[in-house]
A and B are shown apart, each in its own frame.
Chain A
Amino acid sequence: MEYIYKILFAVILILGVGYFAKNVKKLVRNIKLGQDVDVSDNKSQRWKNMSMIALGQSKIVRRPISGVLHVIVYIGFIIINIEVLEIIIDGLVGTHRVGLKFLPTSVYGFLIGTFEILACLVFVSVIIFWIRRNIIKLARFWKSEMTSWPKNDGNFILYFEMVLMTLFLVMNATDVHFQTLNSGNIISQFISPWFSGLSEGTLHIIERGAWWIHIVGILTFLNYLYYSKHLHILLAFPNTYYGKLEPKGQINNLEAVTKEVQMMMDPNIDPFAAPAEEAGEEEIPAKFGASDVQDLNWVQLLNAYTCTECGRCTSECPANQTGKKLSPRKVMMDTRDRLEEVGKNIDANNGEFKDDGKQLLDDYITKEELWACTSCNACVEACPVSIDPLSIILEMRRYLVMEQSAAPVELNNMMTNIENNGAPWPYNQMDRLNWKNE
Chain B
Amino acid sequence: MSELLKVPTMAEFMAQGKQPEVLFWVGCAGSFDDRAKKITKAFVKLLNKANVEFAVLGTEESCTGDPAKRAGNEFLFQMQAVTNIEVLNAYEVKKIVTACPHCFNTIKNEYPELGGKYEVMHHTQFLKTLLDERRLAIEGGKFKGKRITFHDPCYLGRANNVYEAPRQLIQKLEAELVEMKNCKRNGLCCGAGGAQMFKDAEKGDKEINVERTEQALNIKPEIIAAGCPFCNTMMTDGVKAKEKEADVEVMDIAELIANAQDL
Contacts and interface: CB of A to CB of B under 8 A. Distances in A.
B171 interface: no
Given A248-B158, A374-B192, A407-B72, A325 B63 contact: no
A375 B159 CA distance: 10
Nearest to B80: A418
B45 to A, nearest CB: 12
A326 B201 CA distance: 12
Which of the listed residues B61, B197, B208 has the most CB atoms from chain A within 10 Å of its own CB? B208
A405 to B, nearest CB: 10
A374 B202 contact: no
Given A324-B203, A377-B154, A436-B5, A247 B159 contact: yes
Contacts of A288: 74
B198 A410 contact: yes
A400 B110 CA distance: 22
B168 interface: no
Nearest to A414: B198
Interface residues of B, number: 70
Contacts of B211: 318, 321-322
Given A249-B160, A253-B114, A322-B208, A401 B71 contact: yes
A261 B79 contact: yes
A388 interface: no
Which of the listed residues B78, B80, B192 has the most CB atoms from chain A within 10 Å of its own CB? B78
Interface string A362-384: 00000010011111111011000
A432 B63 contact: no
Contacts of A436: 5, 7
Contact of B71 (A368, A397, A422): A397
A424 interface: yes
Interface in B65-117: 65, 67-76, 78-80, 82-83, 105, 108-110, 113-114
Contacts of B191: 318, 374
A402 B73 contact: yes
B204 A250 contact: no
A352 interface: no
B14 to A, nearest CB: 16
B129 interface: no
A396 B74 CA distance: 12
Interface string A247-262: 1111101100110111
A195 interface: no
A414 B199 CA distance: 9
Which of the listed residues A374, A402, A433 has the most CB atoms from chain B within 10 Å of its own CB? A374
Given A247-B109, A249-B159, A378 B189 contact: yes
Given A408-B199, A414-B67, A433-B7, A402 B32 contact: no
Contacts of B114: 253, 258
Contacts of B200: 410
B61 A374 contact: no
B28 interface: yes
A432 B72 contact: no
A431 B159 CA distance: 31
B73 A415 contact: yes
A326 B161 CA distance: 25
Nearest to B156: A249
B82 A324 contact: no
Given A247-B160, A378-B188, A401-B71, A425 B32 contact: yes
B113 A422 contact: no
Given A322-B204, A418-B67, A373 B194 contact: yes
Given A247-B159, A254-B74, A433-B9, A319 B204 contact: yes
Contacts of B18: none
A19 interface: no
A377 B204 contact: no
Nearest to B155: A249
A324 B201 contact: yes
B62 interface: yes
Contact of B198 (A253, A375, A411, A434): A411
Closest 10 pairs (CB-CB, A-B):
A249-B159, A397-B72, A375-B194, A422-B62, A323-B205, A323-B204, A376-B189, A250-B109, A401-B72, A410-B199
8 contacts: A257-B74, A318-B211, A371-B202, A374-B196, A375-B154, A415-B73, A424-B67, A427-B32
Given A322-B208, A418-B76, A431-B59, 11 more contacts: A288-B74, A318-B189, A324-B204, A371-B199, A374-B192, A375-B154, A381-B158, A410-B199, A414-B195, A423-B63, A435-B41
